[in-house]
Amino acid sequence: FHVSARTLATHALSIFGDHSDVMTARTTGFALLASSSVQEAQDMAMIAHMSTLKARVPFLHFFDGFRTSHEVNKVDLLFDEDVRTLIDEELVKAHRERALNPDNPVLRGSAQNPDAFFQAREACNGFYMAVPGTVRDSMARFEKLTGRRYGLFDYSGAPDAERVLVQMGSGVGASHEAVNRLVTEGQKVGLVTVRLYRPFDAQAFVDVLPKTVRAIAAMDRTKEPGAIGEPLYQDVVTALAEAWPDGKAVPKVIGGRYGLSSKEYTPAMAKAALDELTAAKPKRHFTVGIVDDVTHLSLKWDEEFDTEAKGVTRAIFYGLGADGTVGATKNTVKIIGENTPLHAQGYFVYDSKKSGAITVSHLRFGPKPIESTYLIRQADFVACHQFEFMEKLDVLALARNGATFLLNSPYGPNEVWGKLPRETQEQILAKKLKFYVVDALAVAKQAGLAGRINTVTQACFFAISGILPREEAIEKIKEAIRKTYGKRGDTVLNRNFAAVDASLAALREVKVPARADSLLTRRPIVPRAAPDFVQRVTAMMMDGKGDLLPVSAMPVDGTFPTATTQWEKRSIALEIPIWDPKVCTQCAICPLACPHAAIRMNVFSPDEMKRAPSTFKAVPWSRKDGGPLDGMLYSLQVAPEDCTGCGICVDVCPSRSKEVVKHKAINMAPKLEHLEEERANYEFFLSLPEVRPSFDTIDGLRGSQLRQPLFEYSGACTGCGETPYLKLLSQLYGDRLMIANATGCSSIYGGNLPTTPWAKNADGQGPTWANSLFEDNA
Amino acid sequence: FHVSARTLATHALSIFGDHSDVMTARTTGFALLASSSVQEAQDMAMIAHMSTLKARVPFLHFFDGFRTSHEVNKVDLLFDEDVRTLIDEELVKAHRERALNPDNPVLRGSAQNPDAFFQAREACNGFYMAVPGTVRDSMARFEKLTGRRYGLFDYSGAPDAERVLVQMGSGVGASHEAVNRLVTEGQKVGLVTVRLYRPFDAQAFVDVLPKTVRAIAAMDRTKEPGAIGEPLYQDVVTALAEAWPDGKAVPKVIGGRYGLSSKEYTPAMAKAALDELTAAKPKRHFTVGIVDDVTHLSLKWDEEFDTEAKGVTRAIFYGLGADGTVGATKNTVKIIGENTPLHAQGYFVYDSKKSGAITVSHLRFGPKPIESTYLIRQADFVACHQFEFMEKLDVLALARNGATFLLNSPYGPNEVWGKLPRETQEQILAKKLKFYVVDALAVAKQAGLAGRINTVTQACFFAISGILPREEAIEKIKEAIRKTYGKRGDTVLNRNFAAVDASLAALREVKVPARADSLLTRRPIVPRAAPDFVQRVTAMMMDGKGDLLPVSAMPVDGTFPTATTQWEKRSIALEIPIWDPKVCTQCAICPLACPHAAIRMNVFSPDEMKRAPSTFKAVPWSRKDGGPLDGMLYSLQVAPEDCTGCGICVDVCPSRSKEVVKHKAINMAPKLEHLEEERANYEFFLSLPEVRPSFDTIDGLRGSQLRQPLFEYSGACTGCGETPYLKLLSQLYGDRLMIANATGCSSIYGGNLPTTPWAKNADGQGPTWANSLFEDNA
């Protein structure tokens, strides 16, 4: 099995990486082999196959979820011939002959009793004892062929080290950088990389340790509450107890947790762990990478400790999920990695909201292999592919002094300065940034590649980043285009070449004025009206500053307040639906179908119109049945900042204008043109009293859409097919509903669950009544 | 959660007990609390509830599967008032208020990202840190109420012990007996019982250890191949590394595996572990309870080391699954435990074949609490409730010298001696046994309790075991009968009283002759014709001697040969079906319905009859279609020793005699009357060539039943409803079939799977052809 190790759900689920899943598998008897880089993920896969065929023990080879599985890096490839050389065909044949097969019928999976089970269980011992030797042999044969040397455990650092880290997985990259730096500073430190974690060969582990070691920090990327310590820590302690030479003082061992759920792990944190080993009474169990202000287990680390190699160019790109930024930056890594002698690395940060989320691409380029398994903190180049981010994100926070800033802007070099928030202006001045703009949308459109802004921004990046000489860089892009589109004929090829040339022509350096004079400032992340928890916690996460939240900010048992998405206002739509009351039949299908509760209808007294904004639209309620709604007004309203622009509402609208072609009762229109007025309109709309038809007399579909959806603005993907059902349930069952999310989609978590307290019935027997209601009706 | 710990399936499944399931749960963050006796299973359940409400950490309280979960023992009960006293209602209320509930809607089970997950994961630390203190408090309050004192870890043994066992679960009982005995002999040994295993309080563990300890054996009832050692071992090593006083030499720790899948663990084995600690180079990792002649990890133990307390009466009862023996012996434990000051213990050994298996009940009675958590090795009383066992089992192997032997025998005191195998006669003489017989079947029938032999044998046990004075014992049985049947009226009561009196009247002591003179000898377990594996391995298990099999006898990967049940000949039927060809219409329904392939039909040439036994029956094949079977003979034959006597064949037979009432084409008749001749007839029947209609022309139901069933004599329960389908599939698809047993019933495992090699088709493309056949047809 080759698996990217991911976080097990505990107080919350996480789609990100640590070793908690692999660690629960350590009781299975699988051999566990760890890779700590992209190169190793390939190499250990090979070694795992070589070894399992010989050993007859199943292998689980793992590498860090996201940090390794989603990193792009330049590697030495193994080819089919290599695989054929390394795999013994006789072992494959023997393996196949052991398969369950009618040619040679055998019984497996029997039931055994106290008389025989234990003896049979011990019959596999010899196979396990042989595994370390088998893996060592595989590694030796692998080295002979490829020149790449691996051991069961590998030591690096000072030969007379007194303080040593023990680690496996991607954290090794960061720790290795830290150890290298500290050794050059004369510190006696080292690092043991664990490769064969199970079976754990205690003697082999002790053998790689310098016998000068006084103290060890075992670094675990997992957490096992209730254990004396995490698994690698206990293994290190046990290995020393078993195999450390008699008569020499056994090194002190402390255990550290780091990197849970892909939490950043940097060389500075590795240094913090090594520093802790110098303490007279080091923390026996610590964490690093967070601020634990409750149980005070966390170590402080020095943000300034920087081990990035000289000669490496670091670039950061801000984009919107599904806008092509990640694809283009991956492509950039490939172009440079495959076509130049340079090494290249790409890593891409996005949250679990998938499409519509902010993406940040971290790219490094340099002459030597890049093992910096952490995010860029000082970028030479920053690109922002969405102008809107300027008003909400601190895009330039990671730009180093003198860096280059490329902004995709609808405003030209002379206009753009005044459109930037004052904070951004100040950063550009303080950091003395080179500032370029390009109107990528316009260039792409003109070149016949409408919407493909990534081609434009990529060309601009190559032109100004300085990684390659400009002419050579342009040539490489065109080569890549030729490879990708060559088969599609000259028209397509030429259109792409033209786009590249046009991009360079449209790229403009901005003459940066001497002072910041903008009247705009960055918007607060959430309105001041938001509740305390949202202000303190949710807003920090939305602002990309969740890493700064201390332990005390977090709920002790994973319990979060509901109704928080209403404060998020992701504002990711480019176009939003605009209502044409003249065509509308008030059928209620658009609010029903909206996956995000972002288009709504209501019925209200004409009196309310007195306080409505002037652009707010309403028409008489169309159903005249003498009921309580007779004579009232009807309105259909979009939530402009919660709408994702998916267009489903327009797709499902059954009413077409008889006068205008392709004109429906709602029609997509550019958001920016309508944002101000619809924001005000929606605010007024929300202030209208809710019409609440009783459950028994609910007027079918239309009645349901008059009720407040309690599952609103979910974090689901744009146009998600799952959420409208949850929303409708919340409207039908209202505050009597507890939503159990069985869809398995992490994007839907964090949606807006019931906010109003339980509405008890006349008997005050809310829960019983509701349970039976729910069982009967849902 | 309160769970009986059971074995996880590895090379084989096992329904028996060890800690392998619980140990995989140790990564979950549950608190783990271990009980080591029946009394503790109650007490720790209480302490777990008290603690979890306070701690807000979920508790998994476990006790050993079978050894504790299925032991009957006298305990001090907790009553409802005690529970009310010990449980804090405020905590229950708080717990309920944290429930997911529409009154107070919250979000749980959210998705968290690298920015916040780690901090949130650390927010529970304080709760875990508080658990040991909380459990200690619960234990203190429990002791105050009940007087029963428990600690997180409890030490017993010499205050200046140098060698110590660490253990949890039922093994503690046996180890405790061993330590007590050795301490009285002046040895400096001790035992730490682990109760709160998670969170593991390293300081609390070290605190209970005498500081004189030089060496520790951590005893694990689980196996984790690939780990340096088993979990409790690694925990002990780590706890010492963290908390052993500075400046004092840390005790050497070794780790032992024992008791996997309920393997016997005795005081002698505990002594073996303690003895190993005296070695200059003790085995760092050992096993005890088996003979490991492959990797040589096992310790030898002294079979003669006996710690059973004086004044304890030990009784063993042999019965057949579902014959009432286990029920009656459990009842005996209750009668004595509840109605006398004596302590009583019952444990019941049966294999996973359920009904029809041999059961052995182990009962102890004595003046003090009984903590002997192992089988009886020297019985004062042996009862055999099935006369048939005498010919196949060594029933008297565990009888001590001078013990009492009660045999349920159809033969009276004067006849029985000659009906015993010579080996049994010799044992009776050598051990100077008191020998009693009773014809329990006859007594029960006469008393109007047909088949209830357990009432009879129970009365006889009380009369002659000497546990209570005879008159008092009879009075206690009658009291118990009054309690059980009082509500059913005087008739039932009197019938039971009469049965008791009649039992005593029918009980006869046998005058044991001076010498063994029987011409009978015990039958070999399997015929000499059985294959090597069956002779060496299977036969040992069938003979109840599987414990003696060394590791080398077992397959390394759980692969067993098929077709072994044919050698087992369980012979458990009291009645078998006898064929009446005059009534039979040759419909083939009886062989189809037989769950054990124990009644079969075949068609053969009249020539074959020349070599048939004289009692073998055959009639002309009834279907005359000019086909190849025209003019052949038909026979229906029972496998008398494989038949379980379930009677399904007779139930489904549609042909009734027109002359004799209730007479069908097959009719159940006492097996013993027909065994000899039908055994010979079946042997001849099996020698007949198989008629193998080709798959395409198979003659429906009748054709299928002419083919050999390859799933035969399964270990399923008598009359099992699942097996006929598997059998029919094997007949339809024959050797092209691989049976995947998805029924989940362990009784069916070990059935007779395909034995003949794959029959390739003309193209030699067996597997492909068969796979598609299987997909198309099955």
Q: In this predicted model, what pLDDT tens digit does every residue of B577-599 receive, in sequence order?
A: 999 999 999 999 999 999 899 99
What is the CB neighbour count within 10 angstroms for residue B300?
11
Task: Give the distance from residue A454's alpha carbon to the nearest chain B alpha carbon, in angstroms.
Answer: 27
**What is the token pair recorded at A58?**
């199943």
Interchain contact A295–B (C-beta under 8 A)? yes
- CA–CA distance, B440 with B320 (Å, rounded to integer): 14
Rg (CA), chain B: 31
How far does Cα A132 stand from its chain's mean position? Answer: 36
* CB-CB contact of B10 with B68 (8 Å): no
Q: Report angle CA A66, A68, A73 to the nearest 5 degrees.
A: 120
Least confident range of A441-450, B81-90, B200-209:
A441-450
Contact B749 A121 (CB under 8 A): no
| pLDDT for B767 beyond 70 | no
Q: Report angle CA A440, A445, A450 to the nearest 5 degrees.
A: 95
Chain B (53-72) residues lying within 8 Å, Cβ to Cβ, of chain A: 56-57
Which uninterrupted H or E stretch holds B603?
strand B599-604
Interchain contact B121–A (C-beta under 8 A)? yes
Identify all chain A residues contacting B747, using CB atoms and an 8 Å cutoff.
Answer: 111
Q: Find the CB nearest B27 among A224, A235, A556.
A: A224
Identify all chain A residues contacting B203, using CB atoms and an 8 Å cutoff.
Answer: none
**What is the token pair recorded at B513?**
């002759």
At residue A225, the pLDDT reads 97
Contact A102 B736 (CB under 8 A): yes
Identify all chain A residues contacting B10, using CB atoms and an 8 Å cutoff.
Answer: 29, 121
| pLDDT for B83 beyond 70 | yes
Interchain contact A120–B (C-beta under 8 A)? yes
Chain B (322-351) residues lying within 8 Å, Cβ to Cβ, of chain A: 351
The pTM (predicted TM-score) of the whole model is 0.92
First and final C-alpha spacing in chain A = 41
Task: For B522-577, write each residue's pLDDT tens digit.
Answer: 888 898 899 999 999 999 988 889 999 999 999 999 998 888 888 888 888 889 99
- CA–CA distance, B239 with B251 (Å, rounded to integer): 11
B314: closest CA among B459, B452, B196, B465?
A: B465
How far does Cα A453 stand from its chain's mean position? Answer: 22
Cα four-point dihedral sign B702, B707, B708, B710: negative
Name the residue type at position A744. Answer: G
At residue B748, the pLDDT reads 57
Q: Report angle CA B32, B37, B40 to the nearest 5 degrees.
A: 60
Name the residue type at position B282. Answer: P
Q: Find the CB nearest A241 among B237, B550, B558.
A: B237
Task: For B120-159, write each residue's pLDDT tens digit.
Answer: 999 999 999 999 999 999 999 999 999 999 999 999 999 9
For tokens 């004044």, the residue is B311
HEC states along B195-236?
Answer: CEEECCCHHHHHHHCCCCCCEEEEEECCCCCCCCCCHHHHHH
Task: Give the distance from residue B467's alpha carbon to the nearest chain A alpha carbon, in angstroms.
Answer: 30
**What is the token pair recorded at B261?**
């899948």
Contact B290 A100 (CB under 8 A): no
Which of A11, A13, A115, A135 is the best mutation test for B, with the most CBs of B within 10 A? A115
Name the residue in chain A with its Cα closest to that of B284: A242
Name the residue in chain B with its Cα closest to that of A716: B111
- CA–CA distance, B371 with B390 (Å, rounded to integer): 32
Identify all chain A residues contacting B126, using CB atoms and an 8 Å cutoff.
Answer: 294-295, 556
Q: Find the CB nearest B753 among A105, A537, A556.
A: A105
Contact B117 A234 (CB under 8 A): no
- CA–CA distance, B363 with B347 (Å, rounded to integer): 7
Check residues A694 and B267 and name the one with the higher pLDDT.
B267
Name the residue type at position A364. Answer: R
CA atoms within 13 A on the CB side of A77: 5
Identify all chain B residues contacting A223, using CB atoms and an 8 Å cutoff.
Answer: 121
Give the count of Cβ contacts less than 8 A between chain A and B. 402
Q: Long-range contacts made by residues A617-621, C-beta under 8 angstroms, separation at least 24? A: A617/A579, A617/A581, A617/A681, A618/A581, A619/A581, A619/A584, A621/A586
Which of A113, A286, A552 is the best mutation test for B, with the most CBs of B within 10 A? A113
Which of B19, B122, B352 is the best mutation test for A, with the most CBs of A within 10 A? B122
Contact A26 B544 (CB under 8 A): no
Q: Find the CB nearest A261 among B118, B237, B242.
A: B118
Q: What is the mean pLDDT of chain B?
A: 90
Identify all chain A residues contacting B250, using CB atoms and an 8 Å cutoff.
Answer: 241
Identify all chain A residues contacting B292, using CB atoms and an 8 Å cutoff.
Answer: 119, 122, 125
Task: For A166-190, write each residue's pLDDT tens digit.
Answer: 999 999 999 999 999 999 999 999 9
**What is the token pair recorded at B598?**
């124990």
B290: closest CA among A114, A769, A433?
A: A114
User: Which residues lie across from B292 on neighbouring strands?
Assistant: none
Chain B (574-603) residues lying within 8 Å, Cβ to Cβ, of chain A: none
HEC states along B333-402?
Answer: HHHHHHHCCCEEEEEEECCCCCCCCEEEEEEEEECCCCCCCCCCCCEEEEEECCCCHHHHCCCCCCEEEE
Chain A (749-768) residues lying within 8 Å, Cβ to Cβ, of chain B: 749-750, 753-755, 757-758, 766-767
Contact B105 A224 (CB under 8 A): no
List all residues 6 or more positions away from B226 whose beta carbon is below 8 Å from its beta carbon: A26, A29, A30, A31, A32, A57, A128, A131, A198, A199, A200
* CB-CB contact of A599 with A643 (8 Å): yes
How far does Cα B65 stand from its chain's mean position? Answer: 11
Contact B113 A16 (CB under 8 A): yes
- CA–CA distance, B482 with B504 (Å, rounded to integer): 18
Interchain contact A357–B (C-beta under 8 A)? no
pLDDT confidence band for B616 (50 / 70 / 90):
very high
Identify all chain B residues contacting A778, using CB atoms and an 8 Å cutoff.
Answer: none
Q: Tell me which DSSP letter residue A560 carries.
A: B
Percent of chain B at pLDDT > 70 equals: 92
Q: Tell me which DSSP letter residue A656 carries.
A: B
How far does Cα B373 stand from its chain's mean position? Answer: 15
- CA–CA distance, B37 with B63 (Å, rounded to integer): 8
List all residues 6 or more positions away from A185 whose beta carbon is below 8 Å from its beta carbon: none
Identify all chain B residues contacting A264, using CB atoms and an 8 Å cutoff.
Answer: 114
Least confident range of A175-179, A375-379, B405-409, B700-704:
B700-704
Q: Find the CB nearest A226 among B200, B241, B755.
A: B200
At residue B624, the pLDDT reads 66
**Which ipTM value was assigned to this complex?**
0.93
Interchain contact B694–A (C-beta under 8 A)? no
At residue A543, the pLDDT reads 87
Name the residue in chain B with its Cα closest to that of A736: B102
Identify all chain B residues contacting A737, using CB atoms and an 8 Å cutoff.
Answer: 102
3-class SS of residue A117: helix
Low-confidence ranges of chain A (pLDDT < 70): 352-356, 624-626, 693-699, 734-778
Task: For B210-220, write each residue's pLDDT tens digit.
Answer: 999 999 999 99
Task: For B359-378, write each residue's pLDDT tens digit.
Answer: 999 999 999 999 999 999 99
Interchain contact B294–A (C-beta under 8 A)? yes
Name the residue in chain A with its Cα closest to that of B203: A228
Q: Find the CB nearest B749 among A111, A545, A747.
A: A111
A312: closest CA among A272, A364, A356?
A: A364
List all residues 6 or more positions away from A297 whose beta carbon is below 8 Å from its beta carbon: A283, A285, A286, A287, B122, B125
**Helical H runs in B404-533?**
416-419, 422-430, 440-446, 453-465, 470-485, 490-506, 532-533
**What is the token pair recorded at B228?**
């340096």
Name the residue in chain A with its Cα closest to that of B108: A559
Identify all chain B residues contacting A120, using CB atoms and an 8 Å cutoff.
Answer: 11-12, 551, 554-555, 558
Contact B559 A24 (CB under 8 A): no
Name the residue type at position B416. Answer: V
- CA–CA distance, A320 with A356 (Å, rounded to integer): 6
Least confident range of B117-126, B338-347, B482-491:
B482-491
Contact B109 A749 (CB under 8 A): yes
At residue A761, the pLDDT reads 33
- CA–CA distance, A353 with A359 (Å, rounded to integer): 11
Q: Find the CB nearest B295 among A108, A126, A741.
A: A126
Task: For A349-377, write each residue's pLDDT tens digit.
Answer: 987 666 667 899 999 999 999 999 999 99
Q: What is the dihedral of CA A490, A493, A498, A500, to 10 degrees?
A: -160
| pLDDT for B754 beyond 80 | no
